Amino acid sequence: MRESGILAEDDRVELIGGEVRAMTPIGPLHAAIVKRLNMLFTRLLAESAIVSVQDPIRLNDYSEPQPDIAVLRTRADYYATEHPYATDVFIVVEVADTSTDYDRDEKMPRYAEAGIAEAWLVDVSSQVIEQYTLPRNGHYLNLRRLEYGDVITSPTLPVIELPVDQILGRVD
């Protein structure tokens, strides 16, 4: 739709279930957490994965969300010829301040249905991280809620082991 001129390059929309949906504006705390995760993931993963920030991933013909962070399989062309598919995604992260219910109820099931092994929902308002793993039949079998003082470890990429305080921004 951007190529045909229906949408402008800077329109904040994503394709979910065949519908073009407006994305909520990004607040400063949301943006800070995304920047922090980008730096942390990039540092931990070095060249073993690509850290994609607010770029589309293709779940199927009807859904192409733009998660805040997607950790992708490395590819020499950095996905220059097509957006990554769900099979290319190790971890997807949604940071939510005003879109928590939408991300939890709409996007997490779609990520599970597409078979993405791990998804995180960083709930800015509640200051918790929900870590979803083991996708089966459109939902994740495991849900861990982590808060300040906890450490989140990825079963998908065990090199990712981060204090929640560091992600949310409280470093003592």
Span 60-93, pLDDT tens digits:
988 899 999 999 999 999 999 999 999 999 999 9
Better-scored residue on pLDDT, 40 or 12: 40
Better-scored residue on pLDDT, 71 or 169: 71
What SS3 state is found at 15? strand
Distance CA(71)–CA(40), nearest Å, equals 12
**Cβ atoms of residues 107 and 87 within 8 Å:** no
Say which CATH architecture domain 26-168 belongs to: Alpha-Beta Complex (3.90)
In this prediction, residue 7 carries a pLDDT of 46
In this prediction, residue 172 carries a pLDDT of 47
Distance CA(141)–CA(160), nearest Å, equals 21
pLDDT at 18 over 70: no
- At residue 2 the predicted structure's pLDDT band, cuts being 50, 70 and 90, is very low
pLDDT at 13 over 70: no
In this prediction, residue 21 carries a pLDDT of 55
In 66-101, which positions are buried (b, 16+ CB within 10 angstroms) versus exposed (e)? bbbbbbbeeeeeebeeeebbbebbbbbbbbbbebbe
Q: What are the tens digits of pLDDT across the range 25-44?
A: 667 888 999 999 999 999 99
In this prediction, residue 11 carries a pLDDT of 52
In this prediction, residue 48 carries a pLDDT of 95
In this prediction, residue 19 carries a pLDDT of 65
Q: What are the tens digits of pLDDT across the range 147-164?
A: 999 999 999 999 999 999
In this prediction, residue 1 carries a pLDDT of 44
